[in-house]
Each structure stands twice: as C-alpha cells, then as structure tokens.
Amino acid sequence: MTSAARPIGHQIIRLPEAVSTNTLVLESPEYLENHGLVVIAEHQTGGRGRVGRDWASLPGRQLQFSLVLHPPLPREQTPLLSLVAGLAVGKCLTRELALRPLLKWPNDVFLGARKVCGILLEMKMQGGAPQVVVGIGLNCNGAPEDFPPDLQESLTTLAHETGRAVNMQALFAALLAGQQEAYDRLLAGQQTSLLEEWSAMAALEGRALIYPTPEGPRPGKALGLTEEGHLLIETAAGATHVHHSGDLEWTE
Ligand code: BTN
C-alpha cells in the first residue's frame, strides 16, 4: 500500500497528556512521514489555536487530536484542506447528533453564537511536497462553566447543547471517517461541491462581518469563496477584497 493510500487513523497513538499534539507531530519526522497517522491526547498542557491563540484543555472531556496528511495537491490548493476539515466536522455533528452547526471562515465550528470546535492546520514542505498536520479540538462533555472565565460566554460543549453526555469514542471514530470521506472527495476533484456545502453551512452569502486590515478592523460583507477557499469580501466602499488570513467577526 502506498503511503497516501493508507486510511486516516490506520495508526492511532493515544496519550494521556501532550503539550500540543500538533507540536508533537510537527517535531517528530517519523510521525510527519506517516500519512494517516492520528495522535490524540486526553489533556494538552500547551494546546495552540489559530493566530497565536491558546487552546484551553478540559482533561478527558474534549477530543484533541492531530492527523497527518500528504495531499497530492499543488501548494496553492492546500488552504482548501482547512475548510474541508471544518466542513467534515460540521457534517459529522449533523449526522451523529442531529445538531445544526454553523461554520466560520476558515474552519471554526459554532453552535448558535458559541464555538464548539477549532481547527489548526500547519504544514511542512518535504522534497517539494506538503506534509500537513490537521489539529482538531472539539468540546464534548462538561459545560461552558468548566472553562476559564474569559471563555465561558464564547464557548460551548456538545453535552451542553444536546443535554446528553457524549460517547467520545464513537464520535472520534465518526470524525475520522468523516475526515476521510471529505479528503477523498477533495482529491477526486469535488472541490466545487465541497465549497458550496461549506458556504451553505456557513450561511455565508451576504453575511455582515468585520475583517482585519493593516490599518485596523473594517466592516464588510461576505460575497463567497474563491476556488482556493479564500474569502471574498465586499468592502464598505464597494470593492472586492480577497481575505487570506486573520480572524473575522460576524456582526449579524
Ligand atoms: C482554534 O480554534 O484557534 C484552533 C484550535 C485547535 C486546537 C487543536 S487541539 C489538537 C491540536 N493541538 C493543538 O495544540 N491544537 C490543535
């Protein structure tokens, strides 16, 4: 079997604790070389989020894991993996728990106005080919009150939203299967339909937002996605801005 043909989760390394599963994988050449490897930790002491944020860990009540992908895609298409990973999580929550998640560019998953899942995608180039680490943090059991006070208003957990304890092992298996399905579709050239599904789950078109610029935050309106998964924003002056990175704020 070639490395790329190995399924996601063909090998799963389970740890009681890691500083950050993403860091661990990125710093271990033998892990990074292993397409489909998954490293999951019950607790992270230094979990990392996007744009330099920390990721708060609730030991044993979250799914916190990183998976390795060697996508046979040109480098400019690798940002798509980020959107596709979020879409796969959203679809899994719909299928398994009958929830109605909302995606926020590029890959946060919300339930109502509160975030339930964050994804950190990092990459190293090896011989001209990308080795990608997709780090997923999903708040499963416990309640918003279990998080540090400054996060309690903005985060939620699946148990809090459904009123039931979550079977984390079953959900983990479903998440890996969902990532595999979405990855296969991307490689099979179904980029357009994946982006359409992403936009629908984000209720994207026409959404009012604030986006960062070197001159400070600016108001705008989401127009859609480019083929590479960048966000098209209509500026207050009516121009079209292509947004590549940086956090957004929905204002409606
Ligand atoms: C974000 O919301 O900004 C992204 C959060 C990503 C958290 C996950 S948990 C597993 C993996 N290891 C990390 O250190 N971060 C990611």
**Choice from 22, 25, 67 to test ligand 1 binding pocket (greatest atom count within 8 A of CB):** 22
The predicted model gives 209-221 an average pLDDT of 94
CB 45 within 8 A of CB 25: no
Look at residue 219 and tell me whether its pLDDT is greater than 70: yes
What pLDDT score was predicted for residue 250?
86
Q: What is the CA radius of gyration of the chain?
A: 18
User: What residues contact 154, with CB distance under 8 A and at least 6 apart?
Assistant: 114, 115
> Per residue in 56-91, pLDDT tens?
999 999 999 999 999 999 888 888 999 999 999 999
Look at residue 4 and tell me whether its pLDDT is greater than 60: no
What is the share, in percent, of the chain residues with pLDDT greater than 90?
89
Q: Which residue, by CA, sits nearest to atom 15 of ligand 1?
A: 48
For the CA of 117, the closest atom of ligand 1 is 2
Q: Given pLDDT bands bounded at 50, 70 and 90, which one contains residue 47?
A: very high
Ligand 1 contacts CB of residue 106 (under 6 A): no
What pLDDT score was predicted for residue 76?
83
Which residues are 233's β-sheet partners? 222, 241
Q: Given pLDDT bands bounded at 50, 70 and 90, which one contains residue 173?
A: very high
Ligand 1 contacts CB of residue 137 (under 6 A): yes
For the CA of 49, the closest atom of ligand 1 is 3
Look at residue 1 and tell me whether its pLDDT is greater than 70: no
Q: Which H or E element spans position 13?
A: strand 11-18
Q: Given pLDDT bands bounded at 50, 70 and 90, which one contains residue 5?
A: confident
CB 42 within 8 A of CB 26: no
User: What residues contact 128, with CB distance under 8 A and at least 6 apart?
Assistant: none
What spatial distance separates the first Cα and last Cα of the chain, rounded to whole Å?
49
User: What residues contact 68, with CB distance under 8 A and at least 6 apart?
Assistant: 25, 31, 32, 34, 35, 36, 37, 38, 131, 132, 133
What pLDDT score was predicted for residue 251?
85
Q: How far is CA 223 from CA 189, 195, 200, 230, 241, in A?
A: 23, 13, 12, 11, 10
**Span from the CA of 91 to the centroid of ligand 1 (angstroms):** 19
> Per residue in 96-143, pLDDT tens?
999 999 999 999 999 999 999 999 999 999 988 999 999 999 999 999
**Span from the CA of 237 to the centroid of ligand 1 (angstroms):** 35
**Span from the CA of 33 to the centroid of ligand 1 (angstroms):** 20
Averaged pLDDT of the chain: 95
Ligand 1 contacts CB of residue 14 (under 6 A): no
Q: How far is CA 102 from CA 19, 38, 163, 169, in A?
A: 29, 25, 19, 23
In angstroms, the CA 252 to CA 246 distance is 19
What pLDDT score was predicted for residue 13?
98
In angstroms, the CA 162 to CA 29 distance is 40
What pLDDT score was predicted for residue 246?
86
